[in-house]
Amino acid sequence: MGTFRYVVADVFTDTPLVGNPVAVFTDGRGLEDEQMQRLARELNLSETVFVFPAKAGGTARIRIFTPALELPFAGHPTLGTAFVLAAPLQLDEIRLETLKGIVPVRLEREEGRIAFGRMVQPVPTWKAFAGEGPLLAALGVERSELPVEEYDNGAQHVYVALGSEDEVARLRPNLSQADLPEALGTNCFAGSGKRWKTRMFGLGGIAEDPATGSAAGPLAVHLARHGKIAWGDEIEISQGAEIGRPSTLYARADGSAEQIERVEVGGSAVVVARGEFRLP
C-alpha cells in the first residue's frame, strides 16, 4: 500500500471554513494520471493539487485537477500550494512550475505566520466570444454592459458584465442550454472603482466556484481594457457569498492593452485539515 498525504487549505480568506478549499498532496510521486483524477473526484473540491520535484528551475512542480479534468493553470490551487509548501521551508518567495510555466508567489508574514501571497499570473490572451446569444439566454440576462470576451491564461474564462451587484447575486443560470465547453468558466460581475463582485459557473464540472484566482487577473485586464479602471489599479473582488463561502481576491494588471507587463493576483489562505490516502 502507498500512503499519500494531503493538506487542505481554505484560500482567499484568513478564516477557516470559508473561501475556496484546495487539497494539496505534498508528494505526488508514485501516482498515475488516472489515480490523480480519481483522487480529485473523490475529494470533490474545485481543485486538487499534486506536488512533484521541480524540473525547470522552480521550487516545485504542480499538477492541478478539477473533479473532471486537468488544468494547465489555476489561481486558488497555486496560491494555496504556496502557503502549504512555503510555511515549513520559511520561504519569502516560491516558484511553482505549472503546465503554463513558472508562477512566482511572494509571501508576506505577520508574527512569523504567512498572512498574504501575491502570484504573478500568465498574461492572458483574449478574443470575442462567439456564443454570446445562447450564453446570455442561459444566464437569464438580456445584455452585457461590456463586450462578452473570452480570456485564456491556462484556464479559459468568458466575462459578462451586469448592471448591479444585486443582478449578479440573483443569477440562477442554466448553462446546460448554452452547450459550453467543460473547460470554460462563465464569469458574471458588477461593481465600480476598485470594488467588484463576481460569480463563476461551470469550469471543469464545477457548478459554482467560491473563489476563482485564474479569473481574477483577466478580470482586471478586462476592466482596464474597457476603461472601467486604470492600468495598475488594484481591485478587490468579492465572490462565493451565494454558496456560503465568502472570499476576497485582489488583482491588478500593469501596462497597457498593447503591452501588458504584469498580472498579479493576491489573497490569504489558512490550513484547516490534514489527511492521507492508502492506495494499492
Q: How far apart are CA 279 and CA 172, in angstroms?
A: 40
**Would you state the torsion angle of the CA atoms of residues 35, 38, 43, 44, taken in this order, to the nearest 10 degrees?**
150
Residue 9 and residue 22: Cα distance in Å, rounded?
Answer: 6
- Length of the chain, please? 280
Smallest Cα–Cα separation from 20: which of 151, 157, 205, 213? 213
Query: Residue 193's Cα: distance from chain center in Å?
Result: 22
Q: Which residues contact 147 (CB under 8 A, 6 or more apart)?
A: 128, 226
Cα Rg, the chain, nearest whole Å: 18
Report, as residue numbers or ranges, the catalytic residues.
47
How far apart, in whole angstroms, are the C-alpha atoms of residue 202 and residue 205?
6
Which amino acid belongs to residue 279? L
Q: With contact defined as beta carbons under 8 Å apart, do 64 and 49 qualify? A: yes
Question: CB–CB of 138/146 below 8 Å?
Answer: no
> Mapping DSSP to helix (H, G, I), strand (E, B) and coil, where does residue 211 land?
coil
SS3 content of the chain, % helix, strand, coil (to 5): 20, 45, 35
Give burial (CB, 10 Å; 0-12/13-18/19+) of 7. buried
CA 223 vs. chain centroid, Å, equals 18
